[in-house]
Amino acid sequence: MPSLPKPRLRRADRVRGTAVAAPPEAHAPRVETIEGGPEGRPLRGVNVDGFRSPERAWLEEHHDFHPLDFEDLSSRNQRPKVDEYDDYLFVVLQFPRYDKQLRRLTAAELDVFLGPDYVITIPNQPLQSLDYLFERCQTSDELREQLFAKGPGYLLYRIVDDAVDASFPMLRKMGNKLERLEDDVFEGRSNEVVRDIFNVKQEIINFRRVVRPMRSALRDLERTTRRYVAEDLDIYFDDINDASERVWDMLENFKEVVEALEATNEAVLSHQLNDVLRVLTAISVIVLPLTLLASLFGMNVEVPWEGDIGGFWIVVALMAVILGGMLWAFRRRGFL
């Protein structure tokens, strides 16, 4: 899937593709609405930007949602789930999102109210896929009617499907990072890639932390949305589950790859350290007999050739013979 273009819209009240200027009040609710669908069965798509007091008051005024749902909207530690009520569904989903300020992957929460004639989305952080879908519906009457004519269940499917598909470009970038790290490891830059391996591993862990609880929530979503989806459209939510499983399989593969890269990099570093220690050990062993010989002739006792310049050259020649012999023996055994 190609990278989604950056949406240009700004939050404001909008209806049927016509932008309506935001109210001048500083505390006005940030709500944008799109209406569509066939005559007699209108459908509203409502996107609420954040959940402050004005947005809560707007929801309480226009809809009779359970107080626990508003409590969940205010919570920052909510897990993905699907709550089923008599006349609507309350859905909490989470999607991976790269935070440019923190420079790491975070979880963007999307809360959804699904009713017989409305789909209300409340993201706690900007979701590029959601903004792009709303912008396209604002500017294209054909697309809006195509999405809204099939009912609220299908509109929810498109919202969730686009958000799930937005994970694949991030996964491709992660895969490219792993390929570059593999090249760096085997090109002798093991010391430089230790931090990079840790960063990629942390990204994979964060990605898995977001995707893991979503798998069961998406299965529940497929089951509970049947009353809002026509029979011939049941297969669409199964497609979302397939995409979610592909994301999970790719993460499992990346997890194994980064663990193998980490182990390989540690082995390369250990091999380099062993090479250094082998050379240092060989040098120490070679210098040891030379040091012993020099110590013998440096004692404060009478030794052969004492005071004779010829004895000095004899000792030097003897040390050179010992050095050459030990180097030859070490090279023959593969120590050097």
Does 4 map to a domain?
A: no
Q: Determine, yes or no, domain membership for 7.
A: no
Q: Do both 98 and 55 map to the same domain?
A: yes
Considering 226, 244, 269, which residue would you say is the last residue of a domain? 269
| CATH code (residue 295) | 1.20.58
- The answer to the question of residue 8 being in a domain is no
DSSP labels for 309-327? Answer: HHHHHHHHHHHHHHHHHHH
Please determine, for residue 207, whether its predicted confidence score (pLDDT) is greater than 90.
yes
Residues 6+ apart with CB under 8 A from 34: 14, 15, 16, 17, 44, 45, 46, 134, 137, 138, 144, 148
Domain assignment present for 86 = yes
Residues 148-182: tens digit of each pLDDT: 888 898 999 999 999 999 999 999 999 999 999 98
Q: Are residues 181 and 71 in the same domain?
A: yes
> Domain range holding 313?
272-333
Number of domains observed in the structure of the chain:
2
Does residue 93 register a pLDDT over 90? Answer: yes
Q: Is residue 22 part of a domain?
A: yes
The CATH number linked to 26 is 3.30.460.20
> Contact, 95 vs 89, CB < 8 A?
no
- Statement to judge: residues 235 and 316 lie in one domain: no
Q: Is the pLDDT of residue 12 over 50?
A: no
Contact present, 208 and 287 (Cβ < 8 Å): no
Pick the closest to residue 44 from 125, 126, 113 (CA basis).
113
Same domain, 280 and 147: no
The verdict on 39 and 139 lying in the same domain is: yes
**Residues 54 and 199 occupy one common structural domain:** yes
Residue 1 lies inside a defined structural domain of this protein: no
Same-domain check for residues 41 and 105: yes
**Model pLDDT for residues 53-72, shown as the tens digit of each residue:** 888 999 988 888 999 999 99
Same domain, yes or no: 164 and 284: no
Among 68-77, 205-214, 325-334, which stretch is predicted with the lowest mean pLDDT? 325-334
pLDDT tens, position by position, 229-260: 877 777 888 889 999 999 999 999 999 999 99
Q: Structure pTM?
A: 0.74
